[in-house]
Homo-oligomer: A and B are copies of this chain.
Amino acid sequence: MDDRQQRIMQITRSMRELNQSFYHATRKDAEACGITQIQYLVLRALKQHPMIGLGELSDLIYTGASTASGVIDRLVQAGLVVRDRLEEDRRAVALKLSPEGEELLNRVGERMMKRLSPLLQLSEEDVGQLLRIQGQMVNLLQQAREEP
């Protein structure tokens, strides 16, 4: 058991370290433009999928609806996102970027890409392997989630 434990701990440790590296690498770029990283993710999602609802958005960014609701609140407050009620279903909302949001997304996106561009030094093969293995892990964990 102990060798197996060791392997799992190594993986979780590596994941955590990498995640923190991502976070700290890009944090300042977002902050310099007055938003947070998750807000950047949301802006990007809304650019690619205009007029979506909150449920679809939270699927896209892998969070719960309540989290997305709060993020959207702050983005609307900041004038970067427009939140409309639908006529055909008055429970639902339709989210889209405001012109200011679109403009800011471009600015932040450029900085983010510049910051993360060193990752392009990874060989194409390594990227493929990474995506394949990570995808497999997601599947394995999804199974594991069901059990009592």
Contact = CB atoms under 8 A, between A and B. Distances in A.
Contact of A131 (B1, B11, B20, B147): B11
A15 interface: yes
Contacts of A141: 18, 21-22, 24-25, 116, 118-119
Given A11-B119, A122-B137, A130-B130, 10 more contacts: A5-B113, A15-B19, A17-B134, A18-B134, A20-B63, A24-B145, A115-B144, A119-B141, A126-B136, A130-B134
Interface of A: 1, 4-5, 7-8, 10-12, 14-22, 24-25, 41, 61-63, 113, 115-122, 126-127, 129-131, 133-138, 140-145, 147
